[in-house]
Amino acid sequence: MNAGASHTGRFAPSPTGPLHAGSLVAALASWLDARAHHGRWLVRIEDVDTPRCVPGADALILQQLAVCGLVSDGPVLWQSQRDTVYQQALERLISRQLAYPCACSRKDIVQALAAQGAGKPRHGELVYPGTCRPENGGLRGRTARAWRLRMDPAHGPVRWTDRRLGEQAQDVATEVGDIVLKRADGLWAYQLAVVVDDAAQGVTHVVRGEDLADNTPRQILLQAALALPRPAYLHTPLVRDAHGDKLSKQTGAPALDVSDPLAALNAAAACLGLSPATGEVSAALAGWTGAWAQRWGMAAAT
């Protein structure tokens, strides 16, 4: 193994549809970052939110990636097969009194917040008012619906440095609140699954779309609660449609056309500020790896 072999990056698509032009940017950036570090690049299929998953989308995504020359260096991980591991993580948090059961419906939360005179902060996300916290009386005979992570209001802002966006800070306890770890429908929350799996796969460098940057501070707190290492983070620019909206499967972004993989890769590379390439896909990827290494201050890959 060479010196950088412990560097591990990953691409973690949700199989809610095929890759679109925006998701290829994150895939390419994470791959280049791993190669530029002489490290490994892993693919993880984030299929915990089963109602949103589309049958066959996982195979299609892997095929789209492969046509673009992006192939996982280790076994692909499917989150839907990792129930036991997530349960163990939840139990660890419960035993440390960092997780507690919650009986509140969305309506209960809205009513409790209204009673406190609180508005709707941050993207309409509700900051849980702590109704079911043990010190507030716990479930009080109601049936548990979800599990939440206890955020410490005394913690203050979580500070982290994004490799592209620079210094970031967020007071998770007041701006986000006690996040859900296991949902009322019995499904694992993205935050728990991503933190457990990044650690389980030895991920040292997370490279993903900027729309996910906002999740980083809560993931950092969850890593600390589970005594897991904190990876480095780099959030990539988003691809926008003609209206300036982020491309996403939800807003009907078309599937990535890989009939001409170099054209697809060139579009993704342009979004990352890399020059267009001609010729073979493998040569294009090698050229961009060198450019990436220079841009982010690494020795060129060999």
CB of 35 to ligand GLU, least distance (A): 18
Taking the complex as a whole, the smallest distance from the CB of residue 125 to ligand GLU amounts, in Å, to 16
Task: Give 48: exposed, middle or buried? Use CB within 10 Å, 0-12, 13-18, 19+.
Answer: buried
Q: Is the dihedral of CA 94, 100, 105, 106 positive or negative?
A: negative
To the nearest whole angstrom, how small is the minimum distance from the Cβ of residue 26 to ligand GLU? 7
| CB of residue 208 to ligand GLU, shortest distance in Å | 4
H/E stretch holding 158 reads strand 158-162
Please identify, using beta-carbon distances, which residue of 212 and 224 lies nearer to ligand GLU: 212
Nearer to ligand GLU, 81 or 136 (CB): 81
Q: What is the DSSP string of 284-297?
A: HHHHHHHHHHHHTT
Query: With b meaning 16 or more CB within 10 Å and e meaning fewer, what string describes 31-45?
Result: bbbbbbbbbbbbbbb
Please give the Cα distance from 225 to 151 (Å, whole number).
10
Between 33 and 46, name the residue whose CB sits nearer to ligand GLU.
46
- Is the CB of residue 128 less than 8 Å from the CB of residue 99? no
Identify the three-state secondary structure at position 127: coil
Q: Which is nearer to ligand GLU, 10 or 150 (CB)?
A: 10
Nearest to 61 by CA among 13, 129, 121, 114: 13
Comparing CA positions, the residue from 5, 9, 2, 4 lying closest to residue 201 is: 9
CB of 280 to ligand GLU, least distance (A): 28
Are 30 and 11 a contacting pair, CB within 8 Å?
yes
Report in angstroms how near the CB of residue 14 gets to ligand GLU at its nearest: 4
Nearest distance in Å: CB 215, ligand GLU: 7
Query: Closest approach of Cβ 137 to ligand GLU, in Å?
Result: 35
Q: How far apart are CA 126 and CA 175, in angstroms?
A: 9
- Looking at the Cβ atoms of 52 and 142, the one nearer to ligand GLU is 52
Complex with ligand GLU: residue 232 or 286, whichever CB lies closer: 232
Do 40 and 9 touch, CB atoms closer than 8 A?
yes
* Cβ closest to ligand GLU, residue 13 vs residue 130: 13
CA distance 133 to 139: 8
In one-letter notation, the amino acid at residue 271 is: C
Minimum CB distance to ligand GLU smaller for 67 or for 212: 212
Contact residues for ligand GLU, defined by CB under 6 A = 12-14, 46, 194, 208, 212
